[in-house]
Structure 1
Amino acid sequence: MPEGDAVWRTARRLHQGLAGVALEGSDLRVPAHATADLSGRRTLEVVPRGKHLLHRVEGDITVHSHLRMEGSWRVHPVGRRHALGRRHTVRALLWTPQRVAVGDSLGMLELVRTSEEHRVVGHLGPDLLDPAYDADTALANVRADPGRTITEACLDQRNVAGMGTIFTAEPLFLLRINPWTPVGDLAEEQVVELLATARRLLVLSCRTGRTTITGRGDVNDDDAWVHGRMGLPCKRCGTTIRLAPIGQQPQQRVMFSCPTCQGGLAPTDDGRPQSPLGHGRRPTY
């Protein structure tokens, strides 16, 4: 699922492509809004809120979308509107005389009143990419349930918005914290540093335009320390990176970690050999 940085970049693309210009037309391919017509309404701004996108137009209207696993928004020259619109996965088209924004495979799409956006994003915790990010509230939220694993607490968007498995796994590795550690077993300073590290990495990704964690510039190098590297050697100690489920269904996720750098195997990991995922790039040292 796209994380806070990817949603931030998507919002920026949409804002740069459409803001300040009146829409010439719209096509929202969801039953509840299939007859909605946004033509003539000027795009005021497109902003991210955690993993949600809020496209605000004149008239107290917000196009609220969530990418979920496969969704995307792309901006193209308006001349491609008809060709792109024929794709069966397209859920939204918003166009001006110059450009068309195409929402493909969106996990959720709806119209809400801008003045009532709190109904759809009010449950979210502080957004790590918000310039007004409230670190104290995020810290209190994450530490509220001492028996919960630190991973589950960070992935819960009600606690802090914008962290997914990548920007949870990588800071945990950098700080040598086991992902299955109960929140109550960590000092307050450790949680403070964890959230600050996640925020720093998200901001870096927004600035560079790519989800880079290691900071290496070699095009043959993969960008993560542990995420996606099951079965490959740890870049810090050489131990094989492991993958294990964490949490309970339906919120269960998978987490990558180094058993040496991060204090042991997951409780459900029997230690059997794990093969690398797919046929991706291999790290160079």
Structure 2
Amino acid sequence: MPEGDTLFLAAQKVGAVLTGRVVTRFESPLPELKEQGVEGRVVSAVRAQGKHLIIDFDDGRSFLSHLRMQGNWFAREKAALTQRALDKTARDVSWDDEETTLIIETESSVAVLTRGAVAVLATRKKIDQRLASLGPDLLSPDYDQAEALDRLREHPDTTIAEALMLQSIVAGIGNVYKSEILFLEKVSPFLKVDELDDPTLERLLKRARDLMRRNLRPGPRRTTFGTFAGQNCYVYNRSGQHCLKCDTKVGMRRQGNLQRSTYFCPECQNVAL
């Protein structure tokens, strides 16, 4: 599931093959991305902000993408691709292609966005305005925990699990980290923000940032280290299995308007069943 660390790594990957190079192909089945005059422009930067990936061009425009649940970025030097892969990326993109969102090529590299939930080309100013509502980015060097705490306090009646997922409060946390950090800090997902003191909220934010930063490496995401390293997660996607710390069965409930799944240990997190 794409979360802040996923996009940070994707931006590194895409940036490595596109930054500083001239675009030779910019093709999409989406009408709004067709014939936009991107060919001939130079990619000036590739960056991540929360769960978004942004590609900046030298003409003052930017391309904004969001992966949601199913999206993915693929990026390679052409010299590293097989002929079959080269042929696949070189194909014409038909109007009814539901898999491909965008293909960007340079003379020596290619990046492909598949199943992107958001794909917008606009001026950098408009893109940055669209992102302005996001809370502090957990992986940004300028991350401001005091601001994130203040934004949490603006939602006193929201459960902490739902609040951590609000990108307007803090950018980057998704279902996996939400469940894992609450478990590790022994906090019930169903308590309201107003029921938690500042030190607890600060611990949750710090744990989220620390775990994300530890996952900025190749390989599957994990939140377990040391003794429990054989499992990638303590509770996420482990409903009905035994808790790794106390042997109680892990539970799952759905929360919020989107009915997002929250995993927890009733014993470790003091959740009444």
What TM-score, normalized to structure 1?
A: 0.87
Aligned to 1:25: 25
Higher relative contact order (CA 8 A, sep 6+): 2
Q: Report the equivalent of 2:74.
A: 74
Q: CA deviation at 1:24?
A: 1.4
Q: 1:77: how far off?
A: 4.1
Following TM superposition, by how much is the alpha carbon of 1:207 offset from its aligned partner in structure 2, in angstroms? 3.7
For the residues of structure 1 that align with 2:76 and 2:14, how far apart are their CA atoms? Answer: 10
Question: Is 1:258 aligned to residue 265 of structure 2?
Answer: yes
Partner residue, 1:43: 43
Instruction: Confirm whether residue 241 of structure 1 aligns to residue 246 of structure 2.
Output: no
Correspondence 1:83 to 2:84: no
Please list, as runs of the form range in 1=range in 2, the aligned pairs for 1:1-285 lying within 5 A after superposition: 1-78=1-78, 80-84=85-89, 85=91, 88=97, 89-207=99-217, 209-216=219-226, 221-247=230-256, 249=257, 251-265=258-272
1:192 maps to amino acid: E
Q: Secondary structure at the residue paired with 1:117?
A: helix
Flag the 1:203–1:213 CA change in 2: closer, same or farther, 3 A. same
- Structure-1 separation of matches of 2:87 and 2:58: 25
Question: Number of matched residues?
Answer: 263
Query: What is the deviation of 1:201?
Result: 0.2
Where does structure 1 differ by over 4 angstroms across 4 or more consecutive aligned residues? 216-219
Identity %: 30
Give the CA RMSD over aligned residues: 1.8
3-state SS of paired residue (1:200): helix
Cα deviation 1:96-133 (Å, max 9, x = unaligned): 11111011111111101112322321110000011000
Query: Unaligned regions of 5+ residues in structure 1, if any?
Result: 266-270, 272-285
CA distance in structure 1 between the partners assigned to 2:206 and 2:159 by the alignment: 18
| 8 Å contact kept, 2:28–2:100 | no
The change in CA–CA distance for 1:40 and 1:213 in structure 2 (over 3 A counts) is same
